[in-house]
Structure 1
Amino acid sequence: MKTNYDYRIRKGLGIALLMLIVAAPSFAQSNNPGPKLGIKGGANLSQFFVNQPTVEDENMKVGLHFGVFTKIPINNFVSFQPELLYTNVGSKISYGGSTLESALGIEEGEVRFNLNYIQLPLAFTLNVGPLNIHAGPYLSYLASANVKNLRNSDLSTINATELDRNDFHTLDYGLLAGVGFDVQNVTIGARYNYGLREVGKSGIAGNLTNDSKNSVAQLYIGFGF
């Protein structure tokens, strides 16, 4: 079900972007918008989709992101928009049953994953009047990680194991797509980040987050200068 859902999202975004690229020249502004430099920030809604038989529930985690951006015009309606952001993502996952406890020594309960990245989005932006459609790749560096069992003070009742950034892949990469509106010096919008690399390494982190990639929806507001 997850694979079909992700495929439909990517297909729909691709069709919408293609239609806007074809139509953009007839709607583009005659003047070049010029480069912009600004700050932006907003909310993250992130979630893992774990391929793990002991998972009972997967819930979104609310986080935040903030940083700087620049918008460099290529022509009258296409711009290149690199950004540098701090972004907090993760998920809340409920595990249950004796299988997980006997195999890994982890009690059942809800585990909260907090992953903090320094992210470099590299978006190409299509500007149609105040509307902008953007898409491109991103690269992220894991600055820190914190994992907590919400029922107990320790993640493991046997060895009191604590998971940190060394248990997760330091580099993450993926694709982004979104839509926004520019009104004078203010920009607002929504974006989706689709990770292409598994979050956890081997061991306990790999088992807890088996086959999980970062999936993050963002709402943001920015101010340009």
Structure 2
Amino acid sequence: MKFKILFLATMCIFFTSAQAQRAGLKGGVNFTNLYVDDVDDENMKVGFNVGLFHRSDISNNFAIQPEFLFTQKGSEIQYSGFLGGSGKYRFNLNYLEVPVLAMAKIGSFNIHAGPYLGFLVGAKVKDIDDDGSVNDVESLDRDDFNTFDYGIAGGIGFDFPDGMLGLRYNYGFVEIGQSGVAGQATENSKNSALQLYLGFDF
């Protein structure tokens, strides 16, 4: 039900503006981290983002751009004696996200910022031992994490005749883990992502 509401709200944003200037496909690379207490180290995880964008010009120098994206987040976290043993945990979190960005345009360049709402569609945690053995953490799955995430996004972009290129940073406001093992393993942690993307108009 919550996903249906998110999807319908996004489609309304995409299609209610008859004066849309640009719409298309975009995708790119995510460099993500979680900030977790009681661990020795944190490692950036590489994932991807892909989806749709729809830009409506309000004036020559200002626009609104909502997007509907599938995006991979998470982190690889080194531990020593954390939940027993030593090695690292790999958190793989997949979201459907809807950023709505206000965009200031300066010629072909733009600066954009705005809120985003995310819906967790999948979560998998792996335990990688020092010897390289990979084991799924069977006690942790999507139900152990908060279903919704929200935060703020901001970045810079460059427009070319049939597309765009940009760099954006997303910071979540919601702690990703719920109670139990997931809450202990991810205490106070929030999503953080640097995104490099390329888009093309329909």
Which of 103, 109, 117 is equivalent to 2:87?
109
State the alpha-carbon separation in 2 of the partners of residues 138 and 86 from structure 1: 13
Q: CA RMSD in A?
A: 1.5
1:82-113 CA deviation, whole Å, 9 max, x = no partner?
A: 0000000100001112xx34xxxx43210000
Q: What amino acid maps onto 1:191 in structure 2?
A: R
State the alpha-carbon separation in 1 of the partners of residues 77 and 136 from structure 2: 13
Q: What amino acid maps onto 2:75 in structure 1?
A: S
State the alpha-carbon separation in 2 of the partners of residues 34 and 118 from structure 1: 23
1:59 aligns with 2:43: yes
State the alpha-carbon separation in 2 of the partners of residues 107 and 210 from structure 1: 19
Q: Which residue of 2 aligns with 1:91?
A: 75
Q: Which residue of 2 aligns with 1:24?
A: none
1:42 aligns with 2:28: yes
Q: Which residue of 1 aligns with 2:6?
A: none
| Higher strand content, 1 or 2 | 2
Q: What amino acid maps onto 1:121 in structure 2?
A: P
**Identity over the aligned pairs, expressed in percent?**
47
Q: Deviation at 1:154? A: 3.9
Which of 187, 194, 201 is equivalent to 2:164?
187
SS at match of 1:200: coil
SS at match of 1:198: coil
Q: Is the 8 A contact 1:107 1:155 kept in 2?
A: no
1:123 aligns with 2:88: no
State the alpha-carbon separation in 2 of the partners of residues 81 and 208 from structure 1: 36
1:224 aligns with 2:201: yes
Q: What amino acid maps onto 1:185 in structure 2?
A: D
Q: Deviation at 1:155? A: 5.4
Q: What amino acid maps onto 1:111 in structure 2?
A: Y
Q: Is the 8 A contact 2:76 2:90 kept in 1?
A: yes
Q: What amino acid maps onto 2:147 in structure 1?
A: T
Q: Is the 8 A contact 1:154 1:162 kept in 2?
A: no
Q: Deviation at 1:56? A: 1.3
Q: Deviation at 1:34? A: 5.8
Q: Which residue of 2 aligns with 1:205?
A: 182
Which of 132, 153, 160 is equivalent to 2:110?
132
1:100-137 CA deviation, whole Å, 9 max, x = no partner?
A: 34xxxx43210000000000000011111000110000
Q: Which residue of 2 aligns with 1:72?
A: 56
SS at match of 2:192: strand
Q: What amino acid maps onto 1:42 in structure 2?
A: G
Q: Is the 8 A contact 2:25 2:199 kept in 1?
A: yes
Q: Which residue of 2 aligns with 1:163?
A: 140
State the alpha-carbon separation in 1 of the partners of residues 161 and 136 from structure 2: 49
1:121-158 CA deviation, whole Å, 9 max, x = no partner?
A: 000111110001100000000000000001255456xx
Aligned residues: 181
Q: TM-score, normalised on structure 2? A: 0.86
Q: TM-score, normalised on structure 1? A: 0.77
| Higher helix content, 1 or 2 | 1
Gaps of 5+ in 1: 1-32
SS at match of 2:170: strand
Q: What amino acid maps onto 1:69 in structure 2?
A: F
Q: What amino acid maps onto 1:85 in structure 2?
A: L
State the alpha-carbon separation in 1 of the partners of residues 55 and 158 from structure 2: 14
